[in-house]
Structure 1
Amino acid sequence: MKPLSRLLPKSMRSDATTIPVVRLQGAIMANSSPMRQNLSLAATAGVLQKAFSDKKAPAVAISINSPGGSPVQSRLIFKRIRDIAEEKKKHVHVFVEDVAASGGYMIALAGDEIIADPSSIVGSIGVVSAGFGFPELLKKIGVERRVHTAGQNKAVLDPFQPEKAEDVERLKALQLEIHEIFIDMVKQRRGAKLAENDDLFTGLFWTGHRAKELGLIDGIGDMRGFLKERYGKKTKMKLISQSRGLFGRRLGLVSGPDMSALGASLATGVMESAEEQALWQRFGL
């Protein structure tokens, strides 16, 4: 059977190209919270699969606004985008909004082309670990910390105990290894486009204008203007979002009315919110 559009007079058929659009916004964390918008493979896999399933679309546009976060989740999202793009034979256009830094830039590397606003913040190719220490607070409030382990390194970097130099050195070794993985990804995806600059992999970040000079991105612009110039003035953008279940909740984010689980999520959310705010504030946002 012919598609209904084929039965219409030629003058009434739409010859506009439609590009699926996915918005990836938020800090990158393995745990999702009902109180915040985070990025993880679990939270993005469905919407990415849906966007790349449009057989008529020649490409998928991905908008990124993220200060980074989990290097594991960042790489998993990057890999999922590349795997589906190659499977579906789709071109990937990435557009940076306010910031694509650290893990956010790692995800942006999945684009065949990366476009940013001249004022966007791009880069921060490095690894950071941050936390809080409370040993003195426990003393003041009269609380004794008791930790019993099988294995001498099971309590490494316990925030309720004084920091140990050997624990910090172990952490730094892990960070260096992850940093090398990040650097290799940048070199593999950006290749000869990268400029010779000693600061490129030091964790510094730049405006979109400077990032283009350094080869971290391909161009300056916005999604609407870029896509219409590339695919024609009639090009349409179709925002792809997660399906919603009962009561408007996004499917897959809340499994049921488990109040104990919700309470635990809210309790841990306080610390995670502080961590998330710190990520954004590094870039003045």
Structure 2
Amino acid sequence: MQDPSDPLLSPSVSSSRPDSSQSAAPGWERQTLERLAFETLREQRASRRWKYGLRLAWLVFLALLAWLVLRQNVPTTGPALPHTAMVEIKGEIASEGEASADSIMAAMRAALEDSGSKALVLRIDSPGGSPVQAGLISDEVRRLRALYDKPIYTVVEESCASAAYYIASATDRIYVDKASIVGSIGVLMEGFGFTGLMDKLGVERRLMTAGDNKGFLDPFSPQTEAQRKHAQAMLDQIHRQFIEVVRQGRGTRLKESPEMFSGLFWTGQQAVDMGLADDLGSLDRVARDVVKAEDVVDYTQRANVAERLAKRFGAAVGEGAVKTLRMLPALR
């Protein structure tokens, strides 16, 4: 018998079957193109949603940041209940820090304007800083004390040195811990000189100025004797101002000695013995036993998290702008 499956014996059957690859090709291409088109649309939609979501998140963040920055950091004391007002002076006294004259003076005014405050305590923990900022705060202490007729005290924690003591000496009384660091009544100007090292390295400094003494604090230029004397005269004058402020504030309580205004510092117990401080005492003790108002309200102006982030963001933007401007000549 003949095998019907043999292609040689049944040519009519094999030739009558359609080519499956040829018939499926048009449908396969269409489906592939449709899938690619749909995938592209989905990716575009997802990308747009991501962009919109990111922009919305930034808007929410910026709105929250603005709200936090605009919030007033004003202490509330209820219906003007009797209390001891406190303003903290912590860290370096500088124009750009939290212990700046603007910040401290505004806090002191807010504290003394409150009808419930019976006295103001400056809680100081500072190694010093700018004599200008300290002088502004010291003058404001005297003005506010006379204006509101309320006592202003100092309570020292770890340290009250240099510019910090400049401020403390203007207050009515100074209370310290027996181990506090107090004093350092002096002035300094610091820097470095690299002229000898440059000579050894064979480096030449090229500094152009208009004025013979314009660059006399430049560490890479030699300092003349006349320039040194000029700087020393400035320091001596500021030192005399410092001494006068201390004498005026402490009066007859001072037990002056040659070392008192030499820049040395002492423990709190030694400061009491020398008349640089009045007594040992903490903030709670002064509020309870001296002011007779145990409740302490903090009027210190502190930058919140949002303000610090805003400052850092602004600094970063400014730095980026400066870098961009510096690159412009190279791009032209």
The two structures have a TM-score, normalised by structure 2, of: 0.66
CA deviations on 1:166-186 (whole Å, 9 max, x unpaired) are 222111111111111111111
Is contact 2:124–2:160 with CA below 8 Å preserved after alignment?
A: yes
Number of the residue aligned with 1:23? 88
Asked if 1:248 is matched to 2:248, the reply is no
Number of the residue aligned with 1:190? 250
Segment drifting more, 116-125 vs 158-167:
158-167
Alignment of 1:133-152 (within 5 A): 133-135=193-195, 144-152=204-212
From the superposition, tell whether residues 263 and 176 of structure 1 become closer, same or farther in structure 2 (CA, over 3 Å): farther
Number of the residue aligned with 1:229? 289
Match for residue 316 of structure 2 among 255, 259, 263: 259
Match for residue 298 of structure 2 among 200, 220, 239: 239
From the superposition, tell whether residues 241 and 141 of structure 1 become closer, same or farther in structure 2 (CA, over 3 Å): farther
Percent identical across equivalent pairs? 36
Asked if 1:78 is matched to 2:129, the reply is no
Separation in 2, partners of 1:207, 1:263: 47
Q: Secondary structure at the match of 1:59?
A: strand
Number of the residue aligned with 2:103? 43
Is contact 2:175–2:278 with CA below 8 Å preserved after alignment?
A: yes
Is contact 1:243–1:250 with CA below 8 Å preserved after alignment?
A: no
List, as ranges, runs of 4+ consecutive aligned residues in structure 1 with deviation greater than 4 Å.
13-16, 136-144, 260-264
Separation in 1, partners of 2:172, 2:194: 45
Number of the residue aligned with 1:207? 267
From the superposition, tell whether residues 46 and 263 of structure 1 become closer, same or farther in structure 2 (CA, over 3 Å): farther
Match for residue 158 of structure 2 among 95, 98, 108: 98
Separation in 2, partners of 1:112, 1:38: 24
Higher Cα radius of gyration: 2
Asked if 1:114 is matched to 2:171, the reply is no
Separation in 1, partners of 2:266, 2:235: 22
User: Which stretches in structure 2 are left out of the alignment for 5+ residues?
Assistant: 1-77, 322-332
Separation in 2, partners of 1:15, 1:260: 43
From the superposition, tell whether residues 102 and 137 of structure 1 become closer, same or farther in structure 2 (CA, over 3 Å): same
From the superposition, tell whether residues 170 and 212 of structure 1 become closer, same or farther in structure 2 (CA, over 3 Å): same
Query: In the TM superposition, what is the alpha-carbon distance from 1:162 to its structure 2 partner?
Result: 2.5
Alignment of 1:165-184 (within 5 A): 165-184=225-244
The amino acid of 2:299's aligned partner reads: I
Asked if 1:68 is matched to 2:91, the reply is no
Separation in 1, partners of 2:124, 2:314: 32
From the superposition, tell whether residues 262 and 24 of structure 1 become closer, same or farther in structure 2 (CA, over 3 Å): farther
From the superposition, tell whether residues 243 and 172 of structure 1 become closer, same or farther in structure 2 (CA, over 3 Å): closer
Number of the residue aligned with 2:183? 123
Query: In the TM superposition, what is the alpha-carbon distance from 1:45 to its structure 2 partner?
Result: 2.8
How many residues end up aligned between the 2 structures?
244
Higher helix proportion (structure 1 or 2): 2
> Which structure would you say has the larger RCO, counting Cα contacts within 8 Å and 6 or more residues apart?
1
The two structures have a TM-score, normalised by structure 1, of: 0.76
Query: In the TM superposition, what is the alpha-carbon distance from 1:250 to its structure 2 partner?
Result: 6.3
Is contact 1:127–1:179 with CA below 8 Å preserved after alignment?
A: yes
From the superposition, tell whether residues 169 and 42 of structure 1 become closer, same or farther in structure 2 (CA, over 3 Å): same
Q: Secondary structure at the match of 2:158?
A: strand
From the superposition, tell whether residues 15 and 166 of structure 1 become closer, same or farther in structure 2 (CA, over 3 Å): closer
Query: In the TM superposition, what is the alpha-carbon distance from 1:159 to its structure 2 partner?
Result: 1.3
Number of the residue aligned with 1:283? none
Query: In the TM superposition, what is the alpha-carbon distance from 1:132 to its structure 2 partner?
Result: 2.3
Number of the residue aligned with 2:9? none
